[in-house]
């Protein structure tokens, strides 16, 4: 079975979501926050922490999405897709920017539908995921 769907949501919605044994989850939280309390039974869960920023400098204490995290996320998606998951749920705090960037990349990579004209995704996250 091939990957057929990707959705992005806020943390509160994701924590209420009933698990599906044929779906994976990418859980994005703020550094220092408690992990999302997801229901048991998902095929696999990848947890990452980074702030919703497009850039950083030494005067701001933000954790920017890194190349290492991008490689880890890409590897996770490729692995669960080849193992036959049908869908991937991506969540971040609000379900607007970081999770949208990841979902947009997954949709782009696998030819899945994505919300037309959605422009609020984090461009830094999307850009790093698109790099080889």
Range 31-39, long-range pairs (CB < 8 A, 24+ positions):
31/63, 33/93, 36/11, 36/91, 38/14, 39/15
pLDDT in tens, 106-116: 999 999 999 98
Q: What is the per-residue pLDDT across 115-132, written as a single tens digit (0 to 9) for each?
A: 989 999 999 999 999 986
Domain span at residue 17 reads: 5-130
Question: Per-residue pLDDT tens for 53-94?
Answer: 987 655 677 889 999 999 999 999 999 999 999 999 999 999
Name the nearest CA neighbour of 110 among 86, 91, 132, 128: 86
- Per the CB < 8 A criterion, the answer to whether 103 and 90 are in contact is yes
Per-chain mean pLDDT for the chain = 94
Task: Please give the pLDDT value at position 12.
Answer: 97
- pLDDT the model gives residue 56: 62
Confidence of residue 1 (pLDDT cuts 50, 70, 90): low
CATH of the domain at 84: 3.90.190.10
C-alpha closest to that of 22 among 51, 8, 2: 2
How many domains in the chain? Answer: 1
pLDDT level of residue 25 (50, 70, 90 thresholds)? very high
The CA dihedral of 89, 29, 10, 128, to the nearest 10 degrees, is -60
């Amino acid at each position: 079975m091939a990957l057929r769907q990707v959705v992005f949501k806020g943390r509160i919605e994701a924590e209420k979501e009933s698990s599906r044994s044929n779906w994976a989850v990418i859980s994005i939280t703020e550094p220092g926050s408690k992990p999302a309390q997801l229901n048991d039974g998902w095929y696999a869960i990848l947890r990452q922490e980074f702030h919703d920023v497009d850039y950083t400098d030494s005067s701001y204490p933000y954790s920017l999405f890194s190349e290492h995290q991008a490689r880890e996320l890409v590897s996770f998606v490729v692995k669960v897709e080849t193992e036959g998951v049908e869908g991937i749920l991506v969540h971040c705090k609000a379900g607007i920017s970081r999770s949208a960037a990841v979902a947009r990349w997954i949709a782009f990579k696998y030819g899945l539908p994505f919300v037309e004209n959605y422009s609020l995704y984090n461009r830094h996250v999307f850009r790093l995921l698109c790099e080889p």
